Amino acid sequence: MSKVFSKLEDIDRRYYYWAIFLILAVPFIKPLGMPISIKQSTRDLYKGVDQVEPGEVVLIDWHMSVSTWPECLDGLVAELKVLTSHDVKIVITSISVDCEMSWNKVNQLVPALRDKYEYGKDIVFLGYYAGGEPTNQQMAIDVWSVFPTDHFKTPIAELPLMAEARTANDYAIVLTTGENEIVWVNQWWTPYGVPVGVMGIAMKGSALQPYYNSGDIFGLAVGVRGGAEFELLIGEPAGAVTRMDSISLSHLSVVILIIIANTGVLYNKLTGGKK
């Protein structure tokens, strides 16, 4: 028995790394569906998105570059599935220079954007804008003054949807993805009363919680966990739920491997064996 514990103490750490790697791969091969509790802030975000009426206009602004996809893309896709199922009209802006890649990706992942929505009438991709918060302020006054054309250089006057989505008062809600949420609170919620919902990155969850508690944002889902919660709420577990399986397994496996790695050390200390 002492030999077994001595071997446990001497295991090459690279075996642990390989064990963790293989364990993390399991959910991507076969999702496990490990249980996830759903926060009230995510439920409120879903409720706010789900309550938008057919024909109303939603502005989606993403501070979501390709590097942010693992955290935010799945949650955005889930939001879009809800909006398109209700025939909500959508205007998309972004402060990320690679926003066209995100636009192409969501069109792949949300079939309704290809099969059901007519570009220019039901959805418009305005694309990248610069200038920070003053630009958001100007958009509230007149979107056309910031975007004379859409991302594809189509004159804004030739897009029927933009005739009814010109000022902040024309929008039912604003949804942000990634970051940049506070400027919308400052420039659209506070002066015009346009509700703001957030699908944010995980590290900003604690900073955004006071805005949710005060009612300045109506709903908040953060990181992979928030995206997974939203997928469960719409009954379509997908990429975020799979990633949460992997994250949960990683935490569990690290705890187990720490116990295994220290069993030999503790045994030898207690029995006076190998030092």
Q: What is the pTM of this model?
A: 0.85
Mean pLDDT of the region 60-85: 93
Grade residue 163 by pLDDT with cuts at 50, 70 and 90. very high
Domains and CATH numbers, the chain: 2-30+245-260 (no CATH), 40-242 (3.40.50)
Residue-wise pLDDT for 28-57, tens only, equals: 777 777 788 999 999 999 999 999 999 999
Share of the chain above pLDDT 70, in %: 95
pLDDT at residue 15 is higher than 90: no
Grade residue 3 by pLDDT with cuts at 50, 70 and 90. low
Q: Quick one: which of 270, 261, 255, 254 has its CA closest to 7?
A: 261
Q: Quick one: which of 103, 41, 51 has its CA closest to 77?
A: 103
How far from 121 is each of 54, 55, 155, 160, CA to CA, in Å? Answer: 13, 11, 14, 5
| Burial of residue 176 (number of CB atoms within 10 Å: 0-12, 13-18, 19+) | buried
Q: Quick one: which of 127, 96, 77 has its CA closest to 239?
A: 77
Mean pLDDT of the chain: 90
Grade residue 59 by pLDDT with cuts at 50, 70 and 90. very high
Mean pLDDT of the region 262-268: 75
pLDDT at residue 16 is higher than 80: no
Helices (H) and strands (E) in the chain, counts: 14, 6
User: What is the structure's pLDDT at 7?
Assistant: 67
User: What is the structure's pLDDT at 18?
Assistant: 85
Grade residue 5 by pLDDT with cuts at 50, 70 and 90. low
Cβ-count burial 230-255 (b if 16+ within 10 Å, e if not): bbbbbeebbbbbbbbbbbbbeeebee
Cβ-count burial 159-168 (b if 16+ within 10 Å, e if not): bebbeebbeb
Grade residue 23 by pLDDT with cuts at 50, 70 and 90. confident
User: What is the structure's pLDDT at 194?
Assistant: 98
Location of structure tokens 């009230």: 40
Grade residue 4 by pLDDT with cuts at 50, 70 and 90. low
Residue-wise pLDDT for 196-250, tens only, equals: 999 988 888 889 999 999 999 999 999 999 999 999 999 998 888 888 888 888 8
Angle at which helix 223-233 crosses helix 239-271, to 10 degrees, equals 130
Spatial contact of 150 and 159, defined as CB atoms under 8 Å apart? yes
Mean pLDDT of the region 175-183: 90
Q: Quick one: which of 79, 109, 70 has its CA closest to 247?
A: 70
Long-range contacts of 108-114 (CB under 8 A, 24+ apart): 109/73, 109/77, 110/77, 110/80, 110/81, 110/84, 112/80, 112/81, 112/84, 112/85, 113/80, 113/84
